[in-house]
Structure 1
């Protein structure tokens, strides 16, 4: 394997001079710099960039922690895509660390990225509590940003409650009063917030939430499919379904249509997250957009210390009215 010493011999300089050239030091004469780069080309030397960056206590890495339980699905694939794209845009390489299946696994993933001397770290937590995250953040000088948690001043999130209120208002304005709800996974903060808004809006309109109209899902299309079957099997009247996310809404649509219902004429349906597929099903799915792209961009900017640019980004949700909801 070609070493830095081999390059130095070929260029007729010292090893420390080669190191200064590779580190961009301006104290090296131009002709020497040219000789070093020529020697690198001739020898085929590949510098160990990671070792060199670790030795100088800085890298151009952005760390990203997310448990593998969240990898599957368009929402999270879009999240990783934007994280990689914005890291590249800001001259950094995204390093993904798997948070696996527990709070300890998430902690280990963060520690791995800290050992990698990442310039900043973005965490989409599933298991770590707000208290644990705060302790980790305050114990290290490396900037760590938390996505989708209300953990000021370290978090980046959107107002899920307001977004759910907007959606419920729209459904209620269409004349629906018997509105079913498909909940997300147990323990999901986002899912609980959306469900609370559903209950609050019913109460505000003088309606009592009916437990028979609430079904548990787990964010997947399969769970939405089975949730819709459960709702029909209960033989409880309803004219609309609000799903905790679009994936479950699409699964519910399939189940309802297989059971002979026409959407939205018989049953209206809506979701959250505004995934791309929702635009291309028939009928197209009414949803609330989550500013995912802006959230991850803001998270990376904060992790890089660019607070002014980060704070200029809007993280408001937006109602996307399509064909899956009809007036009652």
Structure 2
């Protein structure tokens, strides 16, 4: 591996000049810069970024912490691609670190990025509590932004989606179409998003004077298989239902497959709505109705706030985003429609 000294020798300059060119500090003629860059290319030299970050206190890198159970599927792809593109547009590099399987590991991932001298860190938390995140934010000078959670103290450092409200609205829509026996397939119940969506469903039923029937609530874990298993459990226990609200599109797709397998037509006999509005949702048969979380808007706002905190600027005080219910062919009128 080549060294800075080899670059200096090939460019016929001092080591200090090479360092000055790489850091951008101090004056260096264009001719000298060109020789240094050519020497770097010829030697294959790669700067020690951590050492440079320690000396300059800036890295032009933004860290992103996401637990690995979100890595599959279109939801994470949308988060990652949007964050990378937006940061590239602002001259920053994205560093992804796995939050793994516990609050301690999420905290360790944040500390790892802080150790790399990332200018700011974005966290999509799964396990850290609200109080823990507020404490972490207050302990560090680097901006730390939280995605998809509502903080109590540092509200300018968080962007969230109203999952409870969006689930309430989706349930209310089914009720307005004449459905009363509405089944609900939850996400993993250690997920704040899953908890909020279940709460919205229950609140909508009660607001319409409809009893919450616990046997119509099936616990899932975000996968198509859970959708299949949920429908089979509902079918076996013979609890009547005319609609299913599934906590994500993967489970909704599994539910539709299972309904078809047992001879129940969607939407003629059972209506189905999912969450996330995955790209394939409009192309399914029937086209899947789904709740679209404004992921692009949320990530754009997160990056905008990070850049504003680093470079100066203003941002909106609005940090709660509203989802959009997209109705397609998988929903029809229920038995109580007018």
Whether these two folds match at TM > 0.5 is yes
Rounded to whole Å, the distance in 2 between the matches of 1:43 and 1:274 is: 49
Rounded to whole Å, the distance in 2 between the matches of 1:203 and 1:58 is: 53
Rounded to whole Å, the distance in 2 between the matches of 1:104 and 1:137 is: 16
CA contact (8 A) 2:288 2:329 kept: yes
CA contact (8 A) 1:227 1:252 kept: yes
CA contact (8 A) 1:297 1:310 kept: no
Q: Which among 179, 182, 185 is matched to residue 182 of structure 1?
A: 185
Q: Which among 251, 255, 260 is matched to residue 258 of structure 2?
A: 255
- What displacement does 1:139 show? 0.6
Rounded to whole Å, the distance in 1 between the matches of 2:316 and 2:4 is: 40
Which residue is equivalent to 1:99?
A: 99
TM alignment of 1:214-233, pairs within 5 A: 214-233=217-236
Rounded to whole Å, the distance in 2 between the matches of 1:241 and 1:50 is: 51
Residues 1:317 and 2:320 are matched in the alignment: no
Change (3 A) 1:52 1:237: same
Which residue is equivalent to 1:74?
A: 74
Rounded to whole Å, the distance in 2 between the matches of 1:72 and 1:39 is: 42
TM-score normalised to the size of structure 1? 0.93
- What displacement does 1:38 show? 4.0
Q: Deviations over 1:33-76 (max 9, x none)?
A: 33433443444433334432333121121111111122233222
**Deviating more after overlay: 6-15 vs 151-160:** 6-15
TM alignment of 1:38-187, pairs within 5 A: 38-151=38-151, 152-187=155-190
- What displacement does 1:162 show? 2.0
Unaligned runs of 5+ in 1: none
Q: Deviations over 1:288-319 (max 9, x none)?
A: 11001111222222223356356588832111
Paired residue total: 328
- What displacement does 1:236 show? 1.2
TM alignment of 1:293-308, pairs within 5 A: 293-305=296-308, 308=314
Aligned-CA RMSD value: 2.0
TM-score normalised to the size of structure 2? 0.91
For residue 80 of structure 1, give the secondary structure of its aligned residue in structure 2. Answer: helix
- What displacement does 1:124 show? 0.9
Which residue is equivalent to 1:243?
A: 246
For residue 305 of structure 1, give the secondary structure of its aligned residue in structure 2. Answer: helix
Change (3 A) 1:22 1:257: same
Change (3 A) 1:210 1:39: closer
Rounded to whole Å, the distance in 2 between the matches of 1:22 and 1:35 is: 12
- What displacement does 1:24 show? 2.0
Rounded to whole Å, the distance in 1 between the matches of 2:253 and 2:241 is: 18
CA contact (8 A) 2:156 2:317 kept: no
Rounded to whole Å, the distance in 1 between the matches of 2:292 and 2:221 is: 20
Rounded to whole Å, the distance in 2 between the matches of 1:39 and 1:234 is: 74
**Deviating more after overlay: 4-13 vs 113-122:** 4-13
Q: Deviations over 1:239-281 (max 9, x none)?
A: 1111111111111111111111110001101011111121111
TM alignment of 1:18-57, pairs within 5 A: 18-57=18-57
